[in-house]
Amino acid sequence: MTEITGPLHGIKVLDLTRILAGPFCTQMLGDLGAEVIKIERPGKGDDTRGFAPPFVVDEQGAETAESAYFLSANRNKKSVAVDFTNPAGQSLLRRLMAQSDVVVENFKTGTLNRYGLSYDDVKDDNPGLVYCSITGFGQSGPYANRPGYDFLIQGMGGIMSLTGELDGSPQKVGVPIADLMTGMYAAVAINAAIHCAKSTGVGQFIDIGMLDTHVAWLANVGMNYLHAGHLGRLGNDHPNIVPYRPFKTADGEIIIVVGNDGQFKRFCNIAGCDELVEDARFRTNELRVRNREKLAVILDPIVAERSSAFWLKELEALNIGCGPINNLDQVFEDPQVVAREMVHEMKHSVNGGTNVRLLSSPMKLSETPVTYRHAPPLLGEHTVAVMADMLGLDDAELSDLSEQGVIG
């Protein structure tokens, strides 16, 4: 029987990223079958190894030194500890780059130039190399030399001005969405460049800026502004569809999504307010958007009269969007989340072997599914094996490099 491998099987990725945007990108490449070699600083590693607590708990219930944060974006990688501030370390990385299909880095603009590891430094040794640089603000423009952080980008990119209650303060999104979306854009661009390189033999440089990606995914709200000058927050209301928001019920709060005029008619029938269907203020979605406050005054007390269970049952029966507002306990107990196997358990190397639960990949490919080959690695767990396999270093050479602090 042929072993099932991911669509990126055979692609070698040298991963010089840390924190989240870059590691999230390379984890996706690893899930899709690429061999990802993560370069880390000897003795310290990726900064997120220290973003804790919480830490992984071993089989005896004791905390380990491995952070849960690090586990979130470093599955399917091999950790190689190399000090590239050392000339010998720079030489090792250039040799690894020459054998790689992809390099991904997310240091501040210009940092790797100082060590002879920029795209221009290495492209002639590997003409087919796809080299992706992820930075806060890209390689050009007045902010190019600034460091980028998710919170800063959320503030500068406008999402905080759009998030939160109408009369409240600007609010960041509860997960580092700027980092995550940057990683996703980078992964898409890398896959496109791999395809091009395989057909032409020519690699390229990919410039991904966090602020750029943030502005791009403002999507419909950004377009609303460009074409109508709309600004500010709507709380949990949708800017272009009404009603489409949370409602308080007799015993809680649920989300009701009325996506079109036909659904509005069915909703009004369930709610016992059929007269609203022909009301000149609410007949169409356009009118409802223009008169959202007036409609809210009518609908809020109607929904509040009955239980959440009533509304969820009746609305779902008529194919009207609705659902609970879950906390994380409820998310991971949800039968749909369980059925889709969105938590994956793997054996981690820490303390001789500990089971860890990871968030699964949502990518469901019928012929080349994602694979879970390596749990997030210990710092330098694969240094010796990778250096021997890819560069042919023998025990004496590895020992010498270790004694010099070049590898760990």
pLDDT in tens, the chain (408 residues): 446 689 999 999 999 999 999 999 999 999 999 999 999 999 999 999 999 999 999 988 899 999 999 999 999 999 999 999 999 999 999 999 999 999 999 999 999 999 999 999 999 999 999 999 999 999 999 999 999 999 999 999 999 999 999 888 999 999 999 999 999 999 999 999 999 999 999 999 999 999 999 999 999 999 999 999 977 788 999 999 999 999 999 999 999 999 999 999 999 999 999 999 999 999 999 999 999 999 999 999 999 999 999 999 999 999 999 999 999 999 999 999 999 999 999 999 998 899 999 999 999 999 999 999 999 999 999 999 999 999 999 999 999 999 999 999
CA nearest to 135, candidates 23, 22, 25, 40: 22
Question: Do 25 and 128 lie in a common domain?
Answer: yes
CA 254 to each of CA 118, 306, 312: distance values in angstroms, whole numbers, following the listed order: 51, 12, 8
- Domains contained in the chain, number: 2
**CA atoms of 3 and 372, how far apart (whole Å):** 14
Residue 117 located in a structural domain: yes
The domain that holds 273 is classified in CATH as 3.30.1540.10
Specify whether 273 is located in the same domain as 256: yes
Same domain, 21 and 134: yes
Separation CA 290–CA 287 (nearest Å): 5
Judge if 307 and 253 occupy the same domain: yes
Domain holding 168: CATH number? 3.40.50.10540
Is pTM beyond 0.85? Reply is: yes
152 lies in a domain? yes
- Which of 333, 365, 394 terminates a domain? The answer is 333
Are 329 and 364 part of one and the same domain?
A: no
157-183: per-residue pLDDT in tens?
999 999 999 888 999 999 999 999 999
Separation of alpha carbons 406 and 51, rounded Å: 25
Residues 268 and 209 in one domain: no
State whether 187 and 328 are in the same domain.
no
Is there a contact between 106 and 135 (Cβ–Cβ < 8 Å)? Answer: yes
Domain of 85, in residue numbers:
12-218+340-403
Position 166 scores a pLDDT of 87
Whether 257 and 382 share a structural domain: no
* Residues 249 and 392 both lie in one domain: no
- Residues with catalytic roles: 179
The answer on 351 and 258 residing in a single domain is no
**What's the pLDDT score for residue 1?**
40
Residue/partner pairs of 343-346 with CB below 8 Å, 24 or more apart: 344/372, 346/75, 346/372, 346/375
User: Do 319 and 173 sit in the same domain of this protein?
Assistant: no
